[in-house]
Amino acid sequence: MGIFNFFSKDKKESLDKGLEKTKSSFLSKLTRTVVGKSKVDADVLDELEEVLITSDVGVETTLKIIERIEERIARDKYVNTDELNNVLKQEIGKLLEENNTTDLVNFDVPNISESPYVIMVVGVNGVGKTTTIGKLSHQFKKNNKSVILGAADTFRAAAVDQLIIWSERVGVPIIQQGMGADPASVAFDTLQSAKAQGADIAIIDTAGRLHNKVNLMNELSKIKNVMSKVIPGAPHEILLVLDGSTGQNAYEQAKQFSLATEINALAITKLDGTAKGGVVIGISDQMKIPVKYIGVGEGIEDLQIFNKAQFVDSLFS
């Protein structure tokens, strides 16, 4: 099967549109870098380095890319500026492939010995965490999976209310105890209900604050310990939601949360409203944690599975 065959035309158009601001900014900067130049020399590479950094790819990842292009130039003896786009596209693609993560083919979860598959969602306030949970629930339901939600972000009344609205919109049950309830108690009740109902997937929302890493670590550890008593091995997935429009701040959040708990999946949202989509490349390269989902619009269908080759192809199209 071809690498793009499982992407519908609508999905590809949605991705292209969602990355429009990023690629417009990126490619226009790239064009200015090579104007009037015939070959890729030290000056062009210096300017390319600046283009990548200002596109929020990140310093460490940028230096890797520049080093690879320098190796290509040394090996091929000559690379003209007309070839630079293609060389850059190839090297970014290879870099993303080397982080040893496998792209999903559809909205599904691994088979486990005891259902439900439990996803604990973390992330600071305002990144689109609750919206991502709603859209993810919709996609799982479309894929014939039964889902139950747990409103364990009890720090803010608005967070519980928003998740209730999404549960009604998508048509999935929710367990909630209101603002101020013990998050671990909500998680416990959610998993008990999920088991009793034979649900395939349980998604637990958690409080989105990062003001004190020790408190965050203790709270998440408590929730995890309670869940593992109901279902051994739970949570099976700890999904960190990041706001792509914050650029390098998203990368810093990823580092902080990875210190507080064992993140094993990422969702990067709001890429449609920013020119900072290059942060996906840097985070994917530096964190070595799978970017599973990207948000490329406000519509319920605009949460997409992240496919590395498709992303790079769209960025340079």
Q: Are 260 and 220 within 8 A, CB to CB?
A: yes
Q: What is the pLDDT of residues 182-197, one digit of tens each?
A: 999 999 999 999 999 9
The closest alpha carbon to 208, from 167, 171, 239, belongs to: 239
Dist CA 229 CA 58 (whole Å): 40
**Per-residue b/e over 153-172, b at no fewer than 16 CB within 10 Å?**
bbbeeebbebbeebbeebeb
From the number of C-beta atoms within 10 Å of its C-beta (0-12, 13-18, 19+), residue 225 rates as exposed
Hey, what are 300's tokens?
A: 């319920």
Q: Are 240 and 200 within 8 A, CB to CB?
A: no
- Residue 171, phi then psi, degrees to nearest 5: 85, 45
Please compute Rg for the chain using Cα positions: 21
237-243 and 117-122 beta bridge pairing: parallel
> Residue 5 — very low, low, confident or very high, per pLDDT cuts 50/70/90?
very low
Angle between helices 308-315 and 9-18 (to 10 degrees): 60
- Residue 126, phi then psi, degrees to nearest 5: 90, 0
Is residue 166 pLDDT above 90, yes or no? yes
Residue with tokens 């909500």: 186
Q: What does the pLDDT read at residue 3?
A: 41
Dist CA 166 CA 183 (whole Å): 19
Q: What does the pLDDT read at residue 204?
A: 98
Is residue 259 pLDDT above 90, yes or no? no
Q: What is the pLDDT of residues 123-135, one digit of tens each?
A: 988 899 999 999 9
- Helix or strand or coil: residue 45? helix
Q: What does the pLDDT read at residue 113?
A: 85
Q: What is the pLDDT of residues 21-43, one digit of tens each?
A: 998 998 888 888 888 788 888 89
> Residue 8 — very low, low, confident or very high, per pLDDT cuts 50/70/90?
low
Q: What does the pLDDT read at residue 270?
A: 93
Q: What does the pLDDT read at residue 4?
A: 42
Cα(first)–Cα(last) distance of the chain, in Å?
Answer: 22
Q: What does the pLDDT read at residue 171?
A: 97
Is residue 7 pLDDT above 60, yes or no? no
pTM above 0.85, yes or no: yes
The closest alpha carbon to 215, from 183, 239, 255, belongs to: 183
CB atoms within 10 A of CB 279: 28
Hey, what are 127's tokens?
A: 């990144």
Percent of the chain with pLDDT over 70: 96
Q: Which helix (H) or strand (E) holds 175?
A: strand 174-175
Dist CA 300 CA 139 (whole Å): 9
Q: Are 227 and 190 within 8 A, CB to CB?
A: no
Dist CA 2 CA 279 (whole Å): 27
Angle between helices 42-54 and 20-34 (to 10 degrees): 160
Is residue 255 pLDDT above 50, yes or no? yes
Dist CA 218 CA 220 (whole Å): 6
| Report for 10-14, 69-73, 233-237: range of highest mean pLDDT | 233-237
- Helix or strand or coil: residue 239? strand
